[in-house]
Amino acid sequence: MSETVEARLAELGIVLPEASEPAAKYANYVISNGLLFISGKGPAGKPKGKLGQEYTTEEGYQFARLAGIEVLAVLKEALGSLDLVKRVVKIQGFVNAVPEFEEPHKVLNGCSDLILEVFGERGLHARSVLGASTLRDNLPIVIDSIFEI
């Protein structure tokens, strides 16, 4: 990638917020053996509710994108520069949904698409997504992630 990640963010019109703080007594991120692990992040504004009940798949996609921006903000705080990311290793999403909701993977695409837009080839990642009967603060999605630095 010839341009900087910050330049790419500007092209996309994304301004990173201040990194959000952990919701309890745990680290926002941990660096170990060249990997940076970011604790679960939800979307800014802390919307509440379930996919398939209060929210549609399309709204969930936007929430996942917003949660991805929160992840990027923590990553920037941890490293100082997003250009220090060698590779996005894994994105894992937990989607607060009714049991009948069958599209958690489409919701998590909001974060995956963002990561690929921002990091290009370095952003191609492994991922998993799980439907959950409940999440902290009744958030619609929580995303945790692993980066090689």
Each domain of the chain, given as residue ranges in start order, spans 5-148
Q: Give Rg (Cα) of the chain.
A: 15
Task: Please report the pLDDT score of residue 1 as a whole number.
Answer: 45
Task: Please report the pLDDT score of residue 3 as a whole number.
Answer: 84
Task: Please report the pLDDT score of residue 2 as a whole number.
Answer: 58
- Fold classified for 5-148: 60s Ribosomal Protein L30; Chain: A; (3.30.1330)
- Helix 104-119 × helix 57-79 angle, to 10°: 40
Are the C-beta atoms of residues 56 and 29 closer than 8 Å to each other?
Answer: no
Three-class SS state of 22: coil
Per run of 10 residues, the mean pLDDT along the chain (length 149 residues) is 85 95 92 98 96 98 98 97 97 98 98 97 97 96 98
Cα(98)–Cα(53) distance, integer angstroms: 7
What is the pTM for the complete model shown? 0.95
CA dihedral angle for residue 91, residue 24, residue 149, residue 66, rounded to 10 degrees: 50
